[in-house]
């Protein structure tokens, strides 16, 4: 579904840019750290080489990405959005091609359950050649926690990011969420993702840090205190399986302060739309 506005598409974009409301609340602090000047400049250099279709967004990742609980709900009518999110959603709906909300799903689009960074490294060139995305959101690592060493993870992640940049695709990296039984290793992998984003000067969505900021002591739905909940209905940020984000039905499409402390997929959608809107504003439209 495309946003139905009274104003023409162009004026929606211009209005958001002129007001400068993405990704901060007017008169307040940014809800996420803004991109630094070096990252913005580097992404503009990458984007200058882009020759594909404007407004395309690839989602490269595992089950936490292929799930239609991620990204697709924003195509409809989100409720109780804070002001910075409302403006970000308007900008994204005016800019992104509609099929990238939910149709770019499955292994041929770079997202599938049970996959790893090894799978991404083996297939990234095929995805880029087929999709030619203007922007790619990348999050692999949760399944790699089972048996992949930190150095191999770092090397393969960096290779995947560099392949995208070489194709003129702007990359947004996302840290993995904490995982039951692997909390320390997940934190180290999150550090590797942060370091990779910093070293390669690409935008970052720090999902791991945002989960711990909101639920530092009780993010893990696998703990006994959450017995009685169905897998995704648990009212904390990680589901009863200890792996996937939670997704309580009563909060689907809701982005109130309560939801951002309870719905793991809701929180990921919120963080992602803020960062992507900032990339649109500061990078993709910078030379228009």
The pLDDT of residue 288 is above 70: no
Report pLDDT for 134.
98
> CA-to-CA distance for 68 and 4, rounded, in angstroms?
22
Its domain, for residue 34, covers 9-284
Inside any domain, residue 2: no
Inside any domain, residue 272: yes
Q: Look up residue 251 and give its DSSP letter.
A: G
Report pLDDT for 30.
82
Report pLDDT for 8.
39
Q: How many separate helices (H) and strands (E) can be counted in the chain? A: 10, 4
The answer to whether 122 and 156 have CB atoms below 8 angstroms apart is no
**pLDDT classification of 36: cutoffs 50, 70, 90:** very high
Cis peptide before 23 (omega within 30 of 0): yes
Cα-trace Rg, the chain: 18
Inside any domain, residue 4: no
The pLDDT of residue 145 is above 80: yes
Inside any domain, residue 74: yes
The pLDDT of residue 74 is above 80: yes
Report pLDDT for 104.
98
- Give the count of domains, the chain: 1
Does the pTM surpass 0.75? The reply is yes
Mean pLDDT of the 148-157 span: 98
**pLDDT classification of 2: cutoffs 50, 70, 90:** very low
The pLDDT of residue 15 is above 70: no
Calculate the alpha carbon distances from 245 to 46, 175, 242 in Å. 32, 13, 8
Inside any domain, residue 1: no
Q: Per-residue pLDDT tens for 199-253? A: 999 999 999 999 999 999 999 999 999 999 999 999 999 999 999 999 999 999 9
CB-based burial, 221-230: b 16+ in 10 Å, e otherwise: bbbeebeebe
Report pLDDT for 26.
37
Q: Per-residue pLDDT tens for 101-115? A: 999 999 999 999 999
The residue whose two tokens read 């690409």 is 202
Instruction: Residue 154: give its domain's CATH number.
Output: 3.40.50.1110
**pLDDT classification of 16: cutoffs 50, 70, 90:** very low
């Amino acid at each position: 579904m495309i946003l139905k506005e009274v104003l023409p598409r162009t004026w929606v974009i211009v209005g958001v840019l002129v007001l400068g409301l993405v990704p901060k609340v007017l008169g307040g602090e940014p809800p996420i750290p803004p991109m630094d000047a070096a990252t913005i400049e580097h992404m503009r250099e990458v984007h200058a080489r882009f020759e594909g279709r404007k407004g395309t967004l690839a989602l490269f990742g595992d089950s936490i990405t292929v799930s239609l609980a991620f990204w697709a709900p924003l195509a409809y009518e989100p409720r109780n959005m804070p002001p910075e999110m409302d403006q970000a959603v308007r900008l994204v709906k005016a800019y992104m091609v509609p099929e990238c909300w939910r149709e770019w799903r499955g292994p041929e689009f770079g997202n599938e359950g049970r996959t790893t960074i090894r799978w991404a490294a083996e297939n990234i060139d095929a995805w880029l050649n087929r999709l030619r995305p203007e922007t790619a959101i990348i999050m692999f690592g949760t399944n790699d926690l089972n048996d992949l060493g930190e150095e191999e993870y770092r090397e393969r992640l960096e290779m995947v990011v560099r392949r995208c940049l070489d194709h003129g695709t702007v990359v947004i990296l996302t840290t993995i969420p904490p995982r039951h039984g692997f909390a320390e290793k997940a934190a180290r992998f999150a550090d590797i993702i942060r370091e990779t984003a910093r070293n390669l000067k690409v935008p970052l969505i720090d999902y791991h840090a945002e989960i711990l900021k909101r639920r530092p002591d009780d993010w893990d739905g696998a703990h006994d205190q959450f017995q009685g909940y169905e897998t995704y209905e648990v009212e904390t940020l990680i589901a009863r399986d200890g792996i996937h984000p939670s997704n309580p039905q009563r909060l689907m499409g809701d982005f109130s302060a309560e939801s951002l402390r309870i719905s793991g997929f809701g929180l990921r959608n919120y963080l992602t739309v803020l960062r992507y809107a900032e990339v649109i504003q500061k990078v993709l439209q910078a030379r228009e």
